[in-house]
Chain A
């Protein structure tokens, strides 16, 4: 195989890694939109908080003398999920539920306010400078000749992709098989009717926020370890990217969010690899504009039907 094919495959692998984390975050946007029809702009901050909590947990656990990386990552992931879920739940309770019956624009402004609040609260609590974490998992798989052309897939990339796949499978099983998942789907179709059948839709909405926040925390931890750095502003851009991914795939559709994340990640990575890394955000958001212009319902979304 020639050099250029190796190079191309390397870009694809990098793109899939980033893309799968976008997909994890995008699911939070798409599920919430699917049920209550609003964009939770504070979702990116939940992702950011997930990263911080994971870093704090990792530092704390290392101080306790735990040095098995898998144990460390496992516990930190669990802590991060629990804390982020609590944030997701509280955000909905405080900032959105009281506005449920008001106009969408009002809830949207509340979401932006919540996002600014969380960002600044973390900035005050943790400082606005980058916090770095030494990479815990080194090495990777090498395909091709080490001296010549090769593809390098780090163990961290493998962990990210495997964890994402596990989360997606878990979520799909939950949505299609479990009773709560059934109730979630019913709420997404007709929340008023679901209520009249005796299901407390407030609980279903709370569960949706908790699931979204958990997946964002998983993405936060994984990307934090991958890049090795966190600051209070990472939530904003990651949130926008994941939102783009959700719109790309069709907002409201869970498989759409997965697909949208991967497409966005790969297209960014190809831009970085063949044009220049500075343009990758330009490409991401151009994609968003093009999708909104020519395919407003996204790839797997359904055309908007006015709900009665």
Chain B
């Protein structure tokens, strides 16, 4: 077992009187693909929102590379190397495709405005680096010919790929994907499936996945966590989960 990149312990999230997430634990090792599954409304996205700093969890701990991240502002969490996508794609729709990738590299950018103003060689080189990295990822996800198109005008599947590319240019250690296959056709889902595995194998990053598409999850996950009604139900390898009667009951109802 490799050492853990992300360890979530006893994560609890309350909205007023509603207990949306109760005592969820997650462990993501290095170079692992880990999935969180569960029926609709099980609290999967809430778990995601808590881990990525979009919500501040009511209690529990989120350790990332040995650092406690609970309650840290979103931009610091991203700088630690954890980025995410959303279920409903959240691109900067009025900016061009390439600009979406440049904005995401703001953390790597040169911040000295004077240097920018006078266009010093160092500044230009950095700017070129950002462009190169953006172009590399556009090529990787097959969107290079759309670089100057407005992001909002891309087809849905392309927008999903752009969102993943936008995460990747920040050079994360953990990529969190919230239902990346939602709204994709079977061919696109298959391509996505391959892309996720390649990201792990070639870039050496870990991926935390929320997904409804069982085929996708079972095929690529190293570890699966099942959440039901905000509570942890089961965890294990795809084979273990497929054979777990509790999970089958939660998904299909009692016989």
- In the complex, the answer to whether A193 meets B90 with C-beta atoms within 8 Å is yes
- In the complex, the answer to whether A186 meets B75 with C-beta atoms within 8 Å is no
Which of B78, B106, B116 has the most chain A CB atoms inside 10 A of its CB? B106
Binary interface profile of A, 191-221, with partner B (CB < 8 Å = 1, else 0)?
Answer: 0111111111100000000000000000000
Tell me, yes or no, whether A179 is within 8 Å of chain B by CB: yes
- In the complex, the answer to whether B116 meets A196 with C-beta atoms within 8 Å is no
- In the complex, the answer to whether A201 meets B103 with C-beta atoms within 8 Å is no
Chain B residues, Cβ within 8 Å of A198: 75, 78-79, 83, 104, 106-107, 170
Inter-chain contact total with CB atoms closer than 8 Å: 75
Known A-B contacts A179-B116, A185-B92, A197-B170; the reply to A192 vs B102 at CB < 8 A is no
- In the complex, the answer to whether B88 meets A308 with C-beta atoms within 8 Å is yes
Q: Give Cα distance in the complex from A197 to B75, angstroms.
A: 6
Chain A residues, Cβ within 8 Å of B107: 197-199
Chain A residues, Cβ within 8 Å of B116: 178-179
- In the complex, the answer to whether A189 meets B94 with C-beta atoms within 8 Å is yes
Chain B residues, Cβ within 8 Å of A192: 54, 74, 90
- In the complex, the answer to whether B92 meets A199 with C-beta atoms within 8 Å is no
Q: How far is the CB of A297 from chain B (nearest CB, A)?
A: 15
Binary interface profile of B, 69-102, with partner A (CB < 8 Å = 1, else 0)?
Answer: 0000111011100011010101011110001001
Binary interface profile of A, 108-124, with partner B (CB < 8 Å = 1, else 0)?
Answer: 00000000000000000
Q: How far is the CB of A189 from chain B (nearest CB, A)?
A: 5
Chain A residues, Cβ within 8 Å of B92: 185-186, 189-190, 193
A196: nearest chain-B partner, CB-CB = B74
- In the complex, the answer to whether A189 meets B93 with C-beta atoms within 8 Å is yes
Tell me, yes or no, whether A180 is within 8 Å of chain B by CB: yes
Q: How far is the CB of B60 from chain A (nearest CB, A)?
A: 20
Chain B residues, Cβ within 8 Å of A179: 102, 106, 109-111, 116
Interface residues on B, range: 20 to 34
Chain A residues, Cβ within 8 Å of B53: 196
Chain A residues, Cβ within 8 Å of B90: 190, 192-193
- In the complex, the answer to whether A182 meets B102 with C-beta atoms within 8 Å is yes
B163: nearest chain-A partner, CB-CB = A193
Tell me, yes or no, whether A183 is within 8 Å of chain B by CB: yes
Tell me, yes or no, whether B22 is within 8 Å of chain A by CB: no
Chain A residues, Cβ within 8 Å of B31: none
Q: How far is the CB of B147 from chain A (nearest CB, A)?
A: 15
Tell me, yes or no, whether B113 is within 8 Å of chain A by CB: yes
Interface residues on A, range: 20 to 34
Pick the contact of B75 from A180, A200, A308 — CB < 8 Å? A200
Q: Give Cα distance in the complex from A198 to B73, angstroms.
A: 9
Tell me, yes or no, whether B166 is within 8 Å of chain A by CB: yes
Chain A residues, Cβ within 8 Å of B12: none
Chain B residues, Cβ within 8 Å of A186: 92, 95, 103
Chain A residues, Cβ within 8 Å of B84: 196
- In the complex, the answer to whether B75 meets A195 with C-beta atoms within 8 Å is yes
- In the complex, the answer to whether B74 meets A183 with C-beta atoms within 8 Å is no
Q: Give Cα distance in the complex from A201 to B75, angstroms.
A: 8
A178: nearest chain-B partner, CB-CB = B116
Q: Give Cα distance in the complex from A88 to B37, angstroms.
A: 48
Q: How far is the CB of B111 from chain A (nearest CB, A)?
A: 8
Binary interface profile of B, 101-129, with partner A (CB < 8 Å = 1, else 0)?
Answer: 01110110111010010000000000000
Tell me, yes or no, whether B52 is within 8 Å of chain A by CB: yes
Chain A residues, Cβ within 8 Å of B110: 179
Q: Give Cα distance in the complex from A199 to B94, angstroms.
A: 18
- In the complex, the answer to whether B94 meets A195 with C-beta atoms within 8 Å is no
Q: Give Cα distance in the complex from A200 to B166, angstroms.
A: 17
- In the complex, the answer to whether A197 meets B88 with C-beta atoms within 8 Å is no
Q: Give Cα distance in the complex from A195 to B104, angstroms.
A: 10
Chain B residues, Cβ within 8 Å of A194: 103
Of the A-B pairs whose beta carbons lie under 8 Å apart in the complex, a sample of 17, sorted by A's number, is A185-B92, A189-B92, A193-B86, A193-B90, A195-B73, A195-B75, A196-B75, A196-B78, A196-B83, A197-B75, A197-B83, A197-B106, A197-B170, A198-B78, A198-B83, A198-B104, A198-B106
Residues of B within 8 A of A (CB): 52-54, 73-75, 77-79, 83-84, 86, 88, 90, 92-95, 99, 102-104, 106-107, 109-111, 113, 116, 166, 170
A-B pairs with lowest CB-CB distance, top 9: A198-B78, A195-B74, A198-B107, A186-B103, A193-B90, A197-B104, A189-B92, A200-B75, A199-B106
A sample of 19 more A-B contacts (CB under 8 A), given A189-B93, A195-B75, is: A178-B116, A179-B106, A179-B109, A185-B99, A186-B92, A189-B95, A190-B90, A192-B74, A195-B73, A196-B53, A196-B75, A196-B84, A197-B104, A197-B107, A197-B166, A198-B78, A198-B104, A198-B170, A201-B75
